[in-house]
């Protein structure tokens, strides 16, 4: 399995120290009405005033994502200074502004050994954001290049200057930031890996190896076991490929767990559209259609590594959607795990078919909260763009996601389930069909999935649907702590959901 091994080292130093052996010192600046303002300036008053007047003349405005590298002076923390813009700051910088600025800085410093970050970090929340962003920005996927360029290697060490050096909770905050950022980057690795390397069986083996050193139990459904348990959705989608589908359960169940959260992830390792073939242009991006499964896998692994007192289960619904001779045809009827029948009217609406079986199976364990995570619809991008994910489901579940997303800086927008949506999924042949008219496509996918939440004889869990089609894969230029291609979006939100579960009423 292809993955990167380079990982930035995060460390802490007390503010005010000079000449720390770093290649570069990073300083934050804001863009205000009065001009460029240095935040938490490490310089004396006179030099701060001088720099705030000089930087605009050098073309640096302090806008979000802007950088300027210049020479430092003898008593500065490093011989080179990197100014990074946070954009407009109101009373103080937000944690997401700090997270993004730290990511911008470490992205800009690729190829160097060591940087000291002199960003505002006077609270544990700000410190954690800086540490997380610094690690997230220090990333590149070069594993498949025969000779990676030296200046593409991520920054090797990020030292965060803070007044909290003596805080007893600082070490735990640093560890958490490093763990969560590392698992986010492993999601990116998986999303960036091409489908000739990552397919259901190799994905399953990756999950097995990644969980080996943790308190995790792995259970795998191969094609025979899937058939024995009537997983018609997963089997139906995978029929056209020579690479058979899999369902993988990743179970972290610590003693005296305070609640149970289940995550179901869409793992279409490549999506041609099947018989309803996609256009050729841009199809190479469909290696990313397994981002949901990668995200829920690493959310469970991160929970185990952090030893959260919560039962976390991740279900990876893995299949390759190909137009082979045995592929599911439009008009075919599939029988799903919960017994409902689905007429397939569009084989390119395959994600909801594999997720339906995963949701049915996960529901049998009656978790307190149940979430599905999927690059599910192009309609999500049409409605909300490339950086905001769609969120649907029960109020209790969606509220948990919105609170967790606010803390992580990952934007979600709650969408409705209008009563007129469901009739469009009625089928004359089966219980329902897997696609309807184009209007409200994101909502119809969520309404379809709702049909598979719950199981006979157990309490129906509170459920949320996360459509991350746009934010999971960045087709544009890098920004903030986000690289091109795989982003790892939603991993941090899911970990926050799991952490908050013991405190639920």
Which residue in 249, 222, 492 sits closest to 367, CA to CA? 249
pLDDT band (50, 70, 90) for residue 342:
very high
- Residues written for the chain: 505
* CATH number of the domain residue 383 falls in: 3.40.630.10
8 A C-beta contact, residue 119 and residue 26: yes
Same domain, 362 and 401: yes
Q: What is the percent of the chain where pLDDT is above 90?
A: 92
Does 334 have pLDDT greater than 90? yes
266 is in an annotated binding site: yes
What are 208-258's pLDDT values in tens digits? 999 999 999 999 999 999 999 999 999 999 999 999 999 999 999 999 999
On whether residue 110 sits in a domain, the answer given is: yes
| Residues 218 and 156 grouped into a single domain | no
pLDDT score of 87 more than 80: yes
On whether 75 is known to bind a ligand per the annotation, the reply is no
- Asked whether the whole model's pTM tops 0.95, one would answer yes
Mean pLDDT for 465-487 is 98
- For residues 168, 97, 59, 159, the Cα torsion angle rounded to the nearest 10 degrees is 20
- Quick check: is 167 in a domain? no
Burial (Cβ within 10 Å: 0-12, 13-18, ≥19) of residue 45 = exposed
Q: Please answer whether residues 356 and 232 qualify as being in contact, where contact means their C-beta atoms are separated by less than 8 angstroms.
A: no
- The yes-or-no verdict on residue 354 having pLDDT over 60 is yes
For 204, list phi and psi in degrees, rounded to 5.
-60, -45
How many domains, in total, are found in the chain? 2
Q: Looking at residue 158, what is its pLDDT?
A: 97
Does a structural domain hold residue 372?
yes
Q: Give yes or no: residues 335 and 475 share one domain.
A: yes
Band (pLDDT 50/70/90 cuts) for residue 151 is confident
Q: What is the reported pLDDT for 18? A: 75
Of 4-13, 130-139, 158-167, 267-276, the range with the lowest mean pLDDT is: 4-13
Q: Distance (Å, rounded) from C-alpha 303 to C-alpha 499?
A: 8
Looking at the DSSP bridge assignments, the partners of residue 140 are: none
Q: What is the pairing mode between strands 412-414 and 260-271?
A: unpaired
- Could you tell me if residue 150 is inside a domain? yes
Terminal Cα-to-Cα distance of the chain (whole angstroms): 42
E-state strands within 34-156: 35-39, 67-71, 80-85, 114-118
Distance CA 117, CA 499 (A): 28
> Can you tell me the mean pLDDT for 364-392?
98
Does 163 carry a binding-site annotation? no
Residues 6+ apart with CB under 8 A from 250: 207, 211, 216, 218, 296, 297, 300, 301, 313, 314, 315, 316
Task: Examine the domain organization and report whether 258 and 111 are in the same domain.
Answer: no
Residue 161 φ then ψ, to 5°: -85, 130
Helices (H), ranges, 242-330:
291-305
Residue 2: the pLDDT is 53
For 294, residues 6+ apart whose C-beta sits below 8 A from its C-beta are: 186, 187, 190, 191, 265, 267
Closest among 301, 452, 471 to 376, alpha carbons compared: 471
The residue among 162, 196, 226 that closes a domain is 162
d(CA 210, CA 461): 28
Q: Whole-number mean pLDDT of the chain?
A: 96
Count of beta carbons in the 10 Å neighbourhood of residue 214: 16
Q: Quick one: pLDDT at residue 375?
A: 98
Q: How many CA atoms lie within 13 A of 402 on its CB side?
A: 13
DSSP state of 277: P
Tell whether 192 and 139 lie within a shared domain. no
pLDDT at 257: 96
CATH of the domain at 127: 3.40.220.10
The whole-angstrom separation of Cα 271 and Cα 122 is 46
pLDDT of residue 33: 82
Question: Pick the catalytic residue: 15, 19, 278, 329?
Answer: 278
pLDDT digits (tens, 9 = 90+) for 61-77: 999 999 999 999 988 99
Average pLDDT on 448-468 reads 98
Order of strands across the sheet that contains 311-321: 217-221, 246-252, 311-321, 260-271, 369-374, 462-467, 389-393, 412-414
Q: Cα dist. 146→142, 143, 149, 442 in Å?
A: 9, 8, 10, 40
277 and 408 in a single domain? The answer is: yes
pLDDT: is 18 or 271 the higher one?
A: 271
Identified catalytic residue from 182, 243, 352, 492 = 352
DSSP code at position 379: H
Judgement on whether residues 218 and 277 belong to the same structural domain of the protein: yes
Q: Is 157 annotated as a binding residue?
A: no
Same domain, 153 and 238: no
pLDDT one-digit tens code per residue, 95-139: 999 999 999 999 999 999 999 999 999 999 999 999 999 999 999
User: Per-residue pLDDT for 503 more than 80?
Assistant: no
Distance separating alpha carbons of residues 103 and 68, to the nearest angstrom: 15
- 352 as an active site residue: the answer is yes
Q: Do 235 and 97 share a structural domain?
A: no
List CB contacts of 242: < 8 A, sequence separation 6 or more.
322, 324
**214 and 124 housed in the same domain:** no
Q: What is the pLDDT of residue 360?
A: 98
Q: What range does the domain containing 368 cover?
A: 187-500
Q: Which residues contact 72 (CB under 8 A, 6 or more apart)?
A: 25, 78, 79, 80, 81
Rounded CA gap, 336 and 326, in Å?
18
- pLDDT band for 91, please (50, 70, 90 cuts): confident
Query: Of 138, 121, 141, whose CA–CA distance to 130 is shortest?
Result: 121
Residue 16: per-residue pLDDT: 81
Higher pLDDT, 111 or 17: 111
Tell me: the pLDDT tens digits for 397-408?
999 999 999 999
Q: Is 289 labelled as part of a ligand binding site?
A: yes
**Residue 430 pLDDT more than 80?**
yes
304 and 158 in one domain?
no
> Cα 306 to the chain's mean position, in Å?
17
């Amino acid at each position: 399995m292809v993955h990167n091994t380079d990982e930035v080292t995060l460390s802490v130093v007390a503010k005010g120290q000079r000449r720390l052996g770093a290649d570069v010192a990073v300083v934050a600046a804001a863009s205000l009405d009065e001009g460029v303002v240095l935040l938490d300036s490490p310089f004396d008053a006179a030099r701060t005033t001088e720099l705030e007047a000089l930087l605009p003349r050098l073309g640096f405005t302090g806008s979000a994502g802007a950088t300027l590298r210049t020479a430092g002076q003898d008593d500065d923390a490093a011989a080179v200074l990197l100014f990074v813009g946070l954009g407009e700051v109101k009373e103080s910088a937000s944690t997401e502004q700090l997270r993004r600025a730290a990511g911008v800085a470490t992205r800009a410093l690729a190829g160097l050994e060591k940087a000291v970050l002199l960003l505002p970090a006077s609270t544990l929340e700000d410190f954690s954001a800086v540490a997380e962003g610094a690690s997230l920005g220090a990333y590149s996927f070069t594993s498949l290049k025969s000779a990676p360029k030296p200046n593409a290697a991520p920054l090797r060490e990020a030292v965060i200057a803070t007044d909290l050096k003596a805080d007893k909770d600082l070490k735990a905050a640093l560890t958490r930031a490093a763990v969560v950022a590392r698992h986010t980057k492993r999601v990116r690795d998986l999303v960036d890996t091409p489908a000739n390397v990552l397919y259901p069986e190799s994905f399953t083996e990756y999950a097995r190896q990644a969980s080996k050193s943790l308190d995790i139990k792995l259970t795998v459904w191969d094609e025979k076991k899937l058939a024995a348990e009537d997983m018609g959705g997963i089997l139906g989608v995978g029929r056209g490929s020579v690479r058979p589908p899999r369902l993988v359960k990743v179970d972290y169940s610590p003693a005296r767990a305070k609640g149970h959260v289940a995550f179901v992830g869409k793992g279409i390792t490549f999506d041609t559209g099947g018989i309803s073939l996609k256009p050729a242009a841009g199809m190479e991006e469909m290696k990313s259609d397994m981002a949901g499964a990668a995200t829920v896998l690493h959310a469970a692994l991160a929970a185990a590594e952090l030893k959260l007192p919560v039962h976390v289960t991740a279900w990876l619904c893995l299949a390759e959607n190909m137009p082979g001779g045995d592929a599911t045809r439009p008009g075919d009827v599939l029988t799903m795990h919960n017994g409902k029948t689905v007429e397939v009217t569009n084989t390119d609406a395959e994600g909801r078919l594999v997720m339906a079986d995963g949701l049915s199976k996960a529901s049998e364990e009656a978790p307190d909260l149940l979430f599905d995570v999927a690059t599910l619809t192009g309609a999500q991008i049409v409605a909300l763009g490339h950086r905001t994910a769609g969120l649907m489901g029960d109020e209790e579940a969606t509220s948990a996601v919105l609170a967790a997303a606010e803390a992580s800086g990952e934007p979600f927008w709650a969408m409705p389930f209008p009563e007129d949506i469901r009739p469009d999924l009625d089928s004359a042949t089966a219980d329902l069909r897997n696609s309807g008219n184009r209007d409200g496509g994101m909502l119809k996918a969520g309404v379809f999935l709702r049909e598979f939440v719950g199981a006979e004889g157990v309490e129906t869990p509170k459920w949320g649907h996360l459509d991350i089609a746009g934010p999971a894969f960045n087709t544009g230029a890098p920004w903030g702590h986000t690289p091109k291609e795989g982003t790892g979006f939603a991993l941090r939100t899911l970990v926050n959901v799991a952490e908050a579960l013991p405190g639920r009423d």
